[in-house]
Amino acid sequence: MPTLAPPFSPPPVIAHRGASASAPENTLAAFRRAAELGARWVEFDVKLTADGRPVVFHDDTLERTTDGAGRLAETSLADLADLDAGTWFDPDFAGALVPTLEETLDLLADMGLGANMELKPCPGRDVETARVGIDVARAMWPVEAPPLLISSFSRPALRVAREMAPQWPRGLLLGGLTDDWRQEAEAAEAWSVHVDSTLIRARDVAEVVDAGYRVMVYTVNDPGRAANLWDWGIDGIFTDRPEVLLPLAGG
């Protein structure tokens, strides 16, 4: 069963990788942009560099979102700092960097943004990614801020989160709702279940809500689809376009 009762309550709209339709994903620019557009929470992904430093980055490889090449897990933080993480999105963002977790948490604290920190380990680095990410977050997350929601597709990472930060709610990340989702949610002592919006069905929402968990869905940019999902009773949406969904959700 969920371990955290209300009043913990993330807003219904969370900016996915920051406002990633209008700024390069998982950069400080994307988080600033999310706040400018009115988002109160952002989601971001945490991985480790070759030298074990936590950075905010989605892919296992560098090509899609930087001007570098190769595997993040084989790239040192110093080498990563030489890469441009903005031009691929738009030349206006030339010079944007892959932020460290520390830089990201600093910015969120300055801007008063809440967050869902997704632990997204590179293959084979589940436990160390969770340990390092949570260690940094525990040291930096403001006590007065709403609790940090920690999610992961990685069950070992969620286990570490439960052990190291039992005070923070956990989100079980799934594609579609699996037959054994309930056992997995219980094992993680999850607060919420996060499901792919293209795979979720109305009866899945009812099943999860009836079991006492919150339901969050990713990634929805279409207002019609969002309205439909809210009608089904979901609690939150991760979106690349908070400016489109916020007016529907009232914040």
Residue nearest to ligand G3P (CB): 218
Question: For residues 174, 22, 113 and 16, what is the CA-based torsion angle, rounded to 10 degrees?
Answer: 0
Q: Which of 30, 85, 118, 132 binds Mg ion (CB under 5 A)?
A: 118
Least Cβ distance, residue 82 to ligand G3P (angstroms): 25
Assess 214 for contact with ligand G3P (CB under 6 A). no
Measured distance CA(60)–CA(47) in Å, rounded: 8
| Positions in 150-179 near ligand G3P (CB under 6 A) | 151, 173
Between 16 and 94, CB nearer to ligand G3P: 16
Nearest to 141 by CA among 171, 170, 102, 172: 102
Q: Which of 101, 230, 238, 239 binds ligand G3P (CB under 6 A)?
A: 238
Q: What is the DSSP secondary-structure string of 101-165? A: HHHHHHHHHHHT-EEEEEE-PPTT-HHHHHHHHHHHHHHHS-TTSPPPEEEES-HHHHHHHHHH-
Least Cβ distance, residue 72 to ligand G3P (angstroms): 14
Token representation of residue 203:
């009866």
Residues that are catalytic: 16, 58
Q: Which of 72, 118, 150, 193 binds ligand G3P (CB under 6 A)?
A: 118
What phi and psi, each to the nearest 5 degrees, are found at residue 196? Answer: -65, 125
The CA radius of gyration of the chain, in Å to the nearest whole number, is 17
Least Cβ distance, residue 74 to Mg ion (angstroms): 21
Assess 45 for contact with Mg ion (CB under 5 A). yes
Between 43 and 204, CB nearer to ligand G3P: 43
Find tokens 């079991």 and name the residue.
211
Question: For residues 142, 185, 120 and 177, what is the CA-based torsion angle, rounded to 10 degrees?
Answer: -130
| Positions in 25-44 near ligand G3P (CB under 6 A) | 43
Number of amino acids touching Mg ion (CB under 5 A): 2
Between 219 and 228, CB nearer to ligand G3P: 219
Q: Is the peptide bond before 169 cis (omega within 30 degrees of 0)?
A: no
- Using CB under 6 A as the criterion, which residues of the chain lie in contact with ligand G3P when the complex forms? 16, 43, 45, 58, 118, 120, 151, 173, 194, 218-219, 238
Which residues form the interface with Mg ion (CB under 5 A)? 45, 118
